[in-house]
């Protein structure tokens, strides 16, 4: 449940932040006549995301046996990659509101009102469909790894919409930095689990060798099918009897993320200094 909540809340929050910033800026600059354009962008973006979900499901159901394992493993690795790019992008966003407002202002300065409407529509549409398509891939990766929790995903969407609304329309007391930091840590561990699980699917398909399989087996102490084990499996990719290659993949991913994080922090220090 928690992994579904984290993914949908993070993705929906990013989209709601973009929408909230654009609407707030339009109100501040007395350009309310563009609000309908924003709403059209939201509706078409959601509709396009639903179509993407149906297309993905159609192709996903067309695989069996070894091909199915390869497809699932590939989906997990793509999901981990997209999660990583999303996390690293958010780590670098220090002035997200100013960046989006600047893009809206650029569109509004166009001498042709039609092009201004098109620019704002595309900005919203791309923000919605990008998060929508990523959510489709993430939820399918979760489904292959541990199963989708509909309640967790729904609660994630609702909480993100509320958080975005409160931050930009009402109290503005939500500390987005802390929220993103905490969710980033959990999502990094989740992405590492997707990498390891994706590698496991390739092993099952016979595409790669696990080198030593299993490297160890602690299922007698903490079974991955038990209450605690299944929770850890779904959220962090826990495997009670992993191969050496799975352990290497998990540790390597965390090492790469830590290295990239230190580089981002180093660049921030240089920029501020």
Model pLDDT, residue 252: 95
What's the mean per-residue pLDDT of the chain?
A: 79
Average pLDDT on 77-84 reads 85
Taking residues 18-36, what's their average pLDDT?
A: 82
Query: So where are the chain's domains?
Result: 2-272
The better pLDDT of the pair 95, 28 is held by 28
Q: Is the pLDDT of residue 244 over 90?
A: yes
Which tens digits make up the pLDDT trace of 106-139?
777 765 777 788 888 988 898 888 888 878 877 7
pLDDT of residue 75: 86
Share of the chain above pLDDT 70, in %: 78
* Confidence tier at 248 by pLDDT (50, 70, 90): very high
pLDDT winner (highest mean) among 110-114, 159-163, 255-259: 255-259
pTM value? 0.70
Q: What is the per-residue DSSP string for the chain?
A: -HHHHHHHHHHHHHHHHHHHHHHHHHHHTT-GGGHHHHHHHHHHHHHHHHHHHHHHHHHHTT--HHHHHHHHHHHHHHHHHHHHHHHHHHHH-S-HHHHHHHHHHHHHT-SSHHHHHHHHHHHHHHHHHHHHHHHHHHHHHHHHHT---HHHHHHHHHHHHHHHHHHHTS-----HHHHHHHHHHHHHHHHHHHHHHHHHHHHHHTSS--SSS-S---TTTS-TTSHHHHHHHHHH---SS--HHHHHHHHHHHHHHHHHHHHHHHHHHHHH-
Q: In the prediction, which pLDDT does 250 show?
A: 94
């Amino acid at each position: 449940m928690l992994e579904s909540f984290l993914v949908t809340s993070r993705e929906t929050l990013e989209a709601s932040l973009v929408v909230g910033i654009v609407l707030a800026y339009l109100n501040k600059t007395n350009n309310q006549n563009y609000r309908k354009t924003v709403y059209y962008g939201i509706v078409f973006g959601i509709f396009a995301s639903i179509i993407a979900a149906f297309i993905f499901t159609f192709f996903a159901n067309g695989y069996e046996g070894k091909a199915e394992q390869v497809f699932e493993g590939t989906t997990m690795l793509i999901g981990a990659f997209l999660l990583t790019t999303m996390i690293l992008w958010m780590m670098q966003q220090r002035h997200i509101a100013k960046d989006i407002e600047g893009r809206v202002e650029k569109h509004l300065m166009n001498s042709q009102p039609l092009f201004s409407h098109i620019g704002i529509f595309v900005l919203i549409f791309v923000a919605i469909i990008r998060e929508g398509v990523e959510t489709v891939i993430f939820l399918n990766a979760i489904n292959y790894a541990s199963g989708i929790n509909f309640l967790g995903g729904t609660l994630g969407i609702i909480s993100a919409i509320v958080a975005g609304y409160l931050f930009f329309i009402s109290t503005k007391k939500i500390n987005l930095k802390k929220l993103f930091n905490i969710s980033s840590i959990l999502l990094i561990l989740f992405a590492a689990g997707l990498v390891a699980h994706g590698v496991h699917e390739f092993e099952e398909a016979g595409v790669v060798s696990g080198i030593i399989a299993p490297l160890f087996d602690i299922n007698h102490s903490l079974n991955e099918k038990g209450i605690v084990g299944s929770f850890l499996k779904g959220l962090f990719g826990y495997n009670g009897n992993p191969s050496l290659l799975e352990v290497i993949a998990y540790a390597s991913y965390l090492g790469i993320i830590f290295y990239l994080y230190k580089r981002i922090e180093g660049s921030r220090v240089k920029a501020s200094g």
